[in-house]
């Protein structure tokens, strides 16, 4: 299989502009005749559905949530990047492009990243026009802050609730189109298969989560914006409903899965306290603007933090990386936290935590200023830990947070299955092996507001799309296979709740394919995961029926998919025998634990083709070329 | 503090919107105090599953107080008794050992029960659809800094925009009124220059829709503010009433010639 990324010719600065002119257009009068299915109503899906409807397409929007506003994007805290250069600190489209390629450790496509940087400024304009209440200065203009991996302030924010405000903006635009009759909204519907007719993606099968009914929906094109798969680790900062089901089922129908092992471990999360936990909570990276990360210099120092004098504190990020300090990229910050804890310097009951200390910032700026910037995060921390971070330093530890991998897409954001487009965290496109903070919101909105409205038109205008109806055998087949899987889950009648298998899977993933990975460990994981999967299908208990709201059934279905997908993630990690970004192979490092890439052998996108559950997937490689950012070993010293 | 806790749970069970509901009692023991309320319910459900029974349906997603999905009345109070806290952010250390805990769904005409503790809150989406937006299409926006906005206005807009759409305000109100929810959106957009062109139209349409959907009237009891996990102030209701009065005075004149919802 040849992976054609369809990157248009021309200089990096002009590609997108020229390409927009070259793409075919759908006549305004014909747009209404094209039905487009958008699955997911997060930033990527809601922005896409609203924008496509504004253009006149007949849009059908699906979400398993009860309302589009609940999508996981709502939880994003810190901010969204844009190359506005309002602070006059030397930012530009080129610098955002450069930082993102470098931050991703040279494993993303230059052309995609440049387009993202170009579009970033329009996103902010549009969101302000929608009424997104970004933070402002006294002069009335927009305020910015810094995020990891950048030496400029280019992050726009709305207190600690940036994702919420951006999503509400997109949601309101979507609901406006619903009111106008341009979007038909289908809530509480879980997509369980895509339908391919004569090589084109022509629809989906969904389960109505209230009645249990399986529904067939046909369209001229399908857009998946179903988010990331971080919950394969069980514990993560993701919402408990996040899953891989939509993308995994598409993968099983032929869509390639790219770089599944590129997962992001976020350095600043509230540490694990016990095995009862259902999820972990992020403390936004923005806190690293003012918080200082440290551990005691001596192992086993159990004094409370305020009793440890300055001279006996190890500010490990500031000392090791003087130019970026506490604002090194996430992968670097996480690995360093793990290292100091592995050396016995960790704090708290478990020894798996480091301090994030605001006392200097509170002295410098005053408590009120800190409260204004981070109040809701401090409150959240207090609620969860019962400790007041204005008085004692926060304790933090890395946790799974984001997934850079996803379905393979070309420059048009279309997968290798014609007609199947993939947006937001669900695709693999822009972040390489490590995503910089505040760049996911940017990417989701770039994809939905400003890219897909053009590229999907080009697809519809350049292909013949014959009429199909939902009684086509491909629809019948897909529905039958969904039904069979559901019946099989209900028929096991074991005695263990699905969650137990999810926890087991998560533990294997975290222990062997987490912050540090090595060949021996990955082999163990490749051995263990199929065993857990087999046990699941023998012992799981799913009570209730398929004929009404049955959350245990929904959950078991998602876990069953994770149990298949996890194996592919580990296989990818095993096959990529280099370290890059968030993928740290212990065999491949330099100096004090810095990731060492192997550009001779691994400067490619690894796109996997499904060959059957338990069968080895087939690897396809898309080579990456770096013509504009020089391929070098990353350094944040 | 680290000693394990026990509780008697009384959980509302209701097969569907047309059936009668009743409480099921479940004893929970060995609960660690740092377990969250929903994690405790997960455990209760896992026990039911192990016994071959159907777990109790309840909704949650982010489990960090921002998505607005969780929606339980705990001991008579929406989201429980901790002020400014969603039930997903409630921890078991806040309950006394041995306590009886009653868990019910939101109860309001406009939020019918779907099953057990799950209700249908899509009425909120319909209210937003009626006018809770700025009518701006993707593409033509001016530079984000073209219009300066006073910081205090941006801050008030953000205070109102912090609403998570959970519906606790409706569940807490003796009249099941949605005034706090609607006013938060009206006030968010009304404080920004971008929201001015549709200001009257928005408030009229949203209020009309709210009435149509069967939410009750506001009788200034302010239970909504007390229950709101984001502590949204009832001042927004006063502001909305002013806007509404003004818009009604102006009548349809301001709405000239446009009948679509957008
Ligand atoms: C706690 C947290 C904080 C973050 N903070 C930031 C930040 O400050 N800045 C930043 O840039 N990024 C941040 N991120 C990352 C960012 O929020 C996400 O990557 C991004 O919002 C994903 O958006 P999305 O639209 O791709 O997917 P989501 O918002 O996850 O939406 C997925 C949608 O798909 C639907 N869906 C999924 N599967 C199905 C199915 N099978 N059938 C039907 N519907 C389905 C869901 O209902 C939902 O509507 C953060 C992430 C987390 C976890
Ligand atoms: S689950 Fe999201 S607010 Fe409670």
Residue A443: pLDDT over 80:
yes
Asked if B65's CB is within 8 angstroms of A551's CB, the reply is no
Nearest CA to ligand 1 atom 52: A76
CATH 1.20.58.100 domain range(s) in chain A: 482-602
H-state helical runs in A240-348 = 245-252, 316-320, 330-342
Q: Are residues B51 and B156 in the same domain?
A: no
In chain A, residues with a C-beta closer than 8 Å to the C-beta of B68 are 69-70, 74
- Tell me phi and psi for residue A202, to 5 degrees: -125, 5
What pLDDT is attached to residue B55?
98
Tell how far the Cα of A341 is from the centroid of ligand 1, in angstroms.
30
Q: What is the pLDDT of residue B259?
A: 42
Residue A216 has pLDDT above 50, yes or no: yes
Q: Do residues B146 and B175 share a domain?
A: yes
Distance from CA of A558 to the nearest CA of B (A): 14
What does the pLDDT read at residue B252?
A: 52
Boundaries of domain holding B16: 5-114
Torsion of CA A535, A538, A544, A545, to 10 degrees: 120
| Same structural domain, B129 and B249 | yes
A227: Cβ contacts below 8 Å, ≥ 6 apart: A40, A42, A71, A72, A73, A238, A242, A424, A425, A426
- Distance of alpha carbon A251 from alpha carbon A620, whole angstroms: 14
| Predicted local distance difference test score (pLDDT) of residue A591 | 83
Cβ neighbours of residue A345 closer than 8 Å, sequence gap 6 or more: A295, A296, A297, A298, A299, A314
B80/B159 same-domain check: no
pLDDT attached to residue B260: 41
Which protein residues are within 6 Å of ligand 1, measured from CB? A 39-45, 62-65, 71-73, 75-80, 162-163, 190-191, 225-228, 237-238, 243, 245-246, 282, 284, 401-402, 424-426, 438-441, 444
Judge whether residue A240 has pLDDT over 70: yes
Which of B57, B88, B114 is the endpoint of a domain? B114
- H or E segment and range at residue B12: strand B5-14
Q: Is B99 helix (H, G, I), strand (E, B) or coil?
A: coil
Decide if B125 and A175 are in contact by the 8 Å CB cutoff: yes
What residues contact B119, with CB distance under 8 A and at least 6 apart?
B71, B105, B106, B108, B111, B112, B113, B167
In the reported structure, the alpha carbon of residue B59 is separated from the centroid of ligand 2 by a whole-number distance in angstroms of 8
DSSP letter assigned to residue A198:
T
Q: A252-261, A322-331, A408-417, A611-620 — which is least confidently predicted?
A: A322-331
| Segment A525-548, tens digit of pLDDT | 999 999 999 999 999 999 999 999
Nearest ligand 1 atom to the CA of A162 is: 8
Chain B CB contacts of A72 below 8 Å: 61-62, 67
pLDDT of residue A47 exceeding 90:
yes
The pairing of beta strand B72-74 with beta strand B77-78: antiparallel
Which among A575, A567, A547 has a CA at the least distance from the CA of A611? Answer: A567
Question: Other CB atoms closer than 10 Å to residue B6's CB: what's the count?
Answer: 12
- Would the CB atoms of A69 and B69 count as touching at under 8 Å? no
Catalytic residue among A330, A395, A503, A597: A330
Q: pLDDT tens for residues A543-589?
A: 999 999 999 999 999 999 999 999 999 999 999 999 999 999 999 99
The half-sphere exposure of A340 on its side-chain side, counting CA atoms within 13 A, is: 29
Q: How far is the CA of A76 from the centre of ligand 1 (A)?
A: 8
Residues 261-320, chain A, touching B (beta carbon < 8 A)? 273-274, 276-279, 281
A617-633: string of b/e by CB count within 10 Å (b at 16+)? beebebebeeebbeeee
CATH code of residue B91: 3.10.20.30
Whether B66 has a pLDDT exceeding 70, the answer reads yes
Say if residues A6 and A411 touch (Cβ distance below 8 Å).
Answer: yes
CATH architecture under which domain A266-401 falls:
Alpha-Beta Complex (3.90)
Measured in degrees and rounded to the nearest 5, phi and psi for residue A105 equal: 55, 45
> What is the rounded average pLDDT for all residues in chain B?
94
Is the domain of B149 the same as that of B19?
A: no
Token pair 């603007």 in the structure block, residue:
A289
pLDDT of residue B2: 67
Distance, CA of A344 to CA of A342 (rounded, Å): 5
What average pLDDT score do residues A608-618 get? 97
In chain A, residues with a C-beta closer than 8 Å to the C-beta of B35 are 274, 276
Please give the number of the atom of ligand 2 that sits closest to the Cα of B60.
Answer: 1
Please tell me if residue A161 touches chain B, with a CB cutoff of 8 Å: yes
Angle made by CA atoms B241, B243, B244, in degrees to the nearest 5? 60
Q: Could you tell me where in chain A the CATH 3.90.700.10 domains are found?
A: 266-401
The span from the CA of A341 to the CA of A347, in Å, is 8
pLDDT at B262: 40
pLDDT for B103 beyond 50: yes
Kind and range of the H or E element at A360? helix A359-365
Question: How far from A427 is each of A72, A189, A432, B136, B149, CA to CA, in Å?
Answer: 16, 21, 11, 28, 36
pLDDT level of residue B254 (50, 70, 90 thresholds): low
Residue A180 contacts B, CB cutoff 8 Å: yes
Are B100 and B128 in a shared domain?
A: no
DSSP track, B57-73: P---SSSSSSS----EE
Closest to B80 in 3D by CA, of A281, A235, A160, A383: A383
pLDDT by residue (tens digit) across A499-513?
Answer: 999 999 999 999 999
Interface of A with B in 341-370 (CB under 8 A): none
Q: Is the domain A482-602 a CATH 3.40.50.800 member?
A: no
Residue B256: per-residue pLDDT: 45
Q: Residues of B with CB below 8 A from A177's CB? A: 262
Q: Are residues B105 and B142 in the same domain?
A: no
Task: Give mean pLDDT, residues B203-221.
Answer: 96
Report whether pLDDT(B99) > 80: yes
Distance A251 CA to ligand 1 centre (A): 19
Confidence band for A637, pLDDT divided at 50, 70 and 90? confident
Contacts of A136 in chain B (CB under 8 A): 149, 151, 154
Look up the CATH number of the domain holding residue B176. Answer: 1.10.1060.10
- Of B114, B144, B173, the last residue of a domain is B114
- Which residues have a Cβ under 8 Å from the Cβ of A81 and sit 6 or more positions away? A96, A120, A147, A150, A154, A155, A156, A436, A438, A439, A442
Burial (CB < 10 A; 0-12, 13-18, 19+), residue A23, is middle
Instruction: With a cut of 80, say whether residue A33 has pLDDT above it.
Output: yes
Do B93 and B159 fall into the same domain?
Answer: no
Look at residue A295 and tell me whether its pLDDT is greater than 50.
yes
Under the banding of pLDDT at 50, 70 and 90, the label for residue A2 is: confident
Report the alpha-carbon distance of residue A548 to residue A490 in Å, rounded: 13
Q: What is the pLDDT of residues A337-382, one digit of tens each?
A: 999 999 999 999 889 999 999 999 999 999 999 998 888 889 889 9
In the annotation, is A249 catalytic? no
Averaged confidence pLDDT in chain A = 96
A592 or B36, higher pLDDT: B36
Q: For chain B, what is the domain count?
A: 2
A202 neighbors A419 (Cβ within 8 angstroms): yes
What token pair was written down for A362? 């509170």
């Amino acid at each position: 299989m040849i992976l054609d990324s369809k990157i248009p010719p021309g200089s990096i600065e002009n590609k997108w502009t020229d390409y927009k002119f070259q793409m075919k257009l759908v006549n305004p009068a014909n747009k209404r005749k094209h039905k487009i299915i958008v699955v997911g109503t997060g930033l990527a899906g809601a922005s896409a559905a609203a924008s496509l409807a504004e253009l006149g397409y007949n849009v059908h929007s699906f979400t398993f949530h009860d309302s589009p506003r609940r999508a996981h994007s709502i939880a994003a805290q810190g901010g969204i990047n844009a190359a506005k250069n309002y602070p006059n600190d030397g930012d530009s489209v080129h610098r955002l492009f450069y930082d993102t390629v470098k931050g991703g450790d040279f494993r993303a496509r230059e052309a995609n990243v440049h387009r993202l940087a170009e579009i970033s400024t329009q996103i902010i304009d549009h969101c302000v026009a929608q009424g997104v209440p970004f933070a402002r200065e006294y002069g009335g203009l927009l305020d910015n802050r810094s995020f990891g991996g950048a030496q400029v302030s280019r992050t726009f924010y709305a207190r600690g609730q940036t994702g919420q405000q951006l999503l509400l903006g997109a949601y309101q635009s979507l609901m406006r189109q619903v009111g106008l009759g341009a979007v038909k909204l289908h809530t509480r519907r879980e997509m369980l298969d895509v339908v391919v007719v004569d090589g084109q993606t022509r629809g989906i099968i969904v389960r109505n989560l209230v009645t249990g009914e399986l529904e067939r929906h046909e369209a001229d094109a399908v857009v998946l914006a179903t988010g990331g798969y971080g919950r394969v680790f069980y514990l993560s900062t993701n919402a408990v409903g996040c899953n891989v089901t939509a993308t995994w089922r598409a993968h099983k129908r032929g869509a390639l899965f790219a770089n599944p092992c590129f997962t992001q471990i976020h350095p600043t999360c509230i540490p694990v306290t016990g095995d009862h936990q259902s999820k972990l909570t992020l403390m936004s990276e923005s806190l690293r603007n003012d918080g200082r990360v440290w551990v005691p210099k001596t192992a086993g120092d159990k004094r409370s933090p305020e009793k440890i004098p300055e001279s006996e504190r190890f500010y490990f990020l500031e000392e090791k990386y003087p130019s970026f300090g506490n604002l090194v990229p996430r992968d670097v910050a996480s690995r360093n936290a793990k290292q100091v804890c592995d050396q016995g310097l960790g704090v708290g009951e478990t020894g798996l935590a480091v301090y994030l200390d605001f006392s200097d910032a509170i002295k410098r700026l005053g408590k009120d200023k800190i409260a204004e910037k981070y109040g809701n995060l401090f409150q959240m921390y207090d609620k969860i830990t019962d400790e007041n971070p204005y008085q004692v330093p926060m304790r933090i530890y890395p946790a799974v947070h984001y997934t850079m991998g996803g379905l393979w897409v070309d420059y048009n954001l279309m997968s290798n299955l014609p007609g199947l487009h993939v947006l937001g965290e669900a695709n693999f496109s822009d972040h390489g092996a490590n995503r910089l903070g505040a760049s996911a919101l940017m990417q989701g909105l770039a994809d939905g507001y400003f890219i897909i409205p053009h590229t999907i038109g080009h697809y519809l205008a350049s292909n013949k799309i014959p009429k199909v109806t939902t009684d086509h055998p491909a629809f019948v087949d897909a529905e039958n296979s969904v039904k069979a899987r559901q019946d099989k889950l209900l028929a096991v009648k074991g005695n263990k709740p699905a969650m137990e298998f999810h926890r087991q899977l998560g533990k294997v993933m975290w222990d062997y394919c987490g912050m540090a990975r090595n060949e021996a460990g990955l082999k163990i994981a490749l051995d263990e995961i199929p065993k857990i999967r087999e046990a699941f299908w023998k012992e799981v208990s799913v009570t209730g029926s398929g004929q009404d709201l049955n959350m245990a059934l929904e959950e078991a279905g998602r876990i069953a998919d994770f149990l298949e997908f996890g194996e592919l993630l580990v296989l990818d990690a095993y096959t990529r025998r280099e370290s890059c970004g968030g993928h740290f192979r212990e065999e491949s490092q330099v100096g004090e634990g810095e990731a060492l890439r192997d550009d001779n052998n691994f400067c490619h996108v690894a796109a996997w083709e499904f060959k059957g559950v338990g069968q080895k997937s087939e690897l396809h490689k898309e080579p990456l070329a770096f013509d504009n950012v020089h391929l070098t070993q990353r350094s944040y010293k | 503090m680290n000693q394990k806790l026990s509780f008697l749970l009384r959980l509302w069970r209701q097969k569907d919107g047309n059936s009668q509901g009743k409480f099921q009692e479940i004893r929970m023991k060995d609960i660690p105090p740092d377990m969250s309320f929903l994690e405790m319910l997960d455990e209760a459900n896992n026990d039911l599953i192990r016994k071959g029974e159907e777990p109790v349906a309840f909704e949650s997603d982010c489990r960090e107080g921002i998505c607005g999905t969780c929606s339980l009345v705990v001991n008579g109070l929406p989201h429980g008794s901790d002020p400014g806290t969603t039930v997903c952010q409630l921890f078991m250390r806040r309950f006394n050992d041995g306590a009886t805990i009653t868990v019910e769904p939101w109860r309001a005409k406009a939020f019918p029960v779907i099953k057990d503790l799950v209700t249908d809150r899509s009425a909120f989406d319909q209210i937003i659809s009626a006018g809770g937006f700025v009518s701006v299409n993707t593409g033509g926006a001016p530079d984000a800094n073209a219009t300066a906005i006073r910081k205090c206005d941006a801050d008030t807009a953000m205070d109102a925009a912090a609403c998570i759409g959970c519906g606790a305000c409706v569940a807490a109100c003796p009249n099941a009124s949605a005034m706090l929810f609607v006013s938060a959106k009206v006030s968010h957009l009304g404080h920004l220059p971008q929201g001015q062109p549709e200001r009257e139209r928005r408030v009229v349409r949203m209020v009309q829709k709210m009435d149509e959907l069967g939410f009750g009237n506001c009788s200034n009891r302010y239970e909504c503010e007390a229950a709101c996990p984001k502590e949204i102030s009832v001042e927004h209701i006063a502001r909305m009433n002013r806007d509404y009065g003004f818009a009604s005075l102006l009548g349809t004149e301001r709405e000239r010639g446009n009948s679509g919802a957008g």
